[in-house]
Structure 1
Amino acid sequence: MLQPLIPEQVDRSVAAATTPATRLILALAAVHAARVAQIATLMLDDVDLGNRRLTIAGASARWTTSPCSCCWTGLSTGAAGGRTPRTSTC
């Protein structure tokens, strides 16, 4: 049974994501419900930037926002150590 995280759990997770890699893992888990093992096995062939598609565990999904927006919006606020979040597109 799925249970949503309470705001304090979300805040702790975002605060703990202090590197680009951990922010990406958190974004993939939050947006695509990807599990750690699935994220760890991602290959470049699983990412289709031209068609804005990502394949995780055999399931393909289209991005509705740019990958940079997904990784930076909300996740870098407070977790960037006071730095200004990156807002440009890749």
Structure 2
Amino acid sequence: MEAQQSAVTALRIVDERLQLNSQYGVYVHAKEQLDSMLASLNSREPIAEDREWVDIGLMAAREVDSSDPELAGALMDADYDFKHADG
């Protein structure tokens, strides 16, 4: 499942960044959302209303795009794939 794979990839990158700065709100928020996304994907395919709360793509574009393109890209991919998962 593409949505799960992109969320796992993004979570791996976020976990690496959290080791360097465990208090940075962007990293903390991204980890919370990715964990919730994975829980939703593992329990069932997300339905449309389950997808609306995800905002890590927007956050990535506003907060980290220029300073950390690898993380921004991974977050945007995870956001998109979750919102467009079959279900």
| TM-score between both structures, scaled by the size of structure 1 | 0.29
| TM-score between both structures, scaled by the size of structure 2 | 0.30
Higher relative contact order (CA 8 A, sep 6+): 2
Of structures 1 and 2, the larger Rg is shown by 1
Higher helix fraction (1 or 2): 2
